[in-house]
């Protein structure tokens, strides 16, 4: 086959480019903009780094919500929901035990019976505060840094923080806050009965 029958475009596609050695002065340091545009980062991160933090977070959140692979999207979104639900259940259990001890004066009462006989406000208060605390901690200190920071996240750090947030929101927070809520309910009932007694007299 003669050179006239060859396609120049195919020759250009199949050709290899010999890299030229680049000599750089070790004492010269690139600016931040030059580091971003020198090809060491992907085009996506170059474009994201030029956005404001608010727009970047909004864009990445939309990207995760509209991600085409369902299991990958679930792996990002569902752990926070599961942690929130477990924290709410744990806080409800703690609040029920506190109500059984303080209001019903039966600390060894069974869980279902204690839920039926106890006032519902402390239990609902504990569940809501624990769920909101869990989702806020996971969003601000786990989910947001993973989305907005470059590079592979530290897996043991994410796992450890998730466990710490779950223990705090599901156990420590209701243990510290529910007794005050129960005391408020007890005082409210006492003052209501006292007022009712004065009215009846």
Per-residue pLDDT reduced to its tens digit, 34-65: 555 555 556 666 677 777 777 777 887 788 88
| 47-54: Cβ within 8 A, 24+ apart | 53/148
Closest by CA to 32, choosing from 57, 51, 50, 55, is 50
Residues in Cβ contact with 45 at an 8 Å cutoff, skipping those fewer than 6 apart:
150
Per-residue pLDDT reduced to its tens digit, 149-162: 766 778 888 888 88
Return d(Cα 49, Cα 148) in angstroms, integer: 9
Domain coordinates in residue numbering, the chain:
69-200
């Amino acid at each position: 086959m003669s050179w006239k029958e060859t396609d120049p475009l195919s020759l250009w596609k199949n050709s290899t480019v010999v890299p030229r050695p680049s000599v750089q002065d070790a004492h010269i340091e690139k600016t931040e903009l030059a580091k971003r545009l020198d090809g060491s980062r992907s085009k996506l991160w170059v474009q994201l780094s030029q956005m404001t933090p608010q727009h970047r977070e909004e864009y990445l959140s939309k990207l995760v919500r509209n991600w085409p692979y369902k299991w990958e999207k679930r792996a990002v979104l569902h752990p926070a929901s599961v942690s929130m639900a477990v924290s709410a259940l744990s806080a409800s259990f703690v609040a029920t035990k506190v109500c059984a001890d303080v209001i019903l004066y039966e600390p060894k009462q069974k869980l279902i019976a204690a839920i039926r006989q106890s006032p519902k406000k402390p239990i609902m208060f504990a569940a809501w505060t624990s769920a909101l605390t869990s989702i806020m901690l996971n969003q601000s200190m786990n989910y947001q840094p993973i989305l907005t920071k470059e590079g592979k996240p530290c897996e043991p750090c994410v796992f450890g923080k998730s466990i710490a947030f779950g223990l705090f929101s599901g156990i420590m927070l209701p243990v510290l806050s529910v007794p005050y809520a129960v005391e408020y309910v007890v005082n409210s009932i006492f003052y209501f009965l006292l007022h009712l007694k004065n009215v009846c007299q």
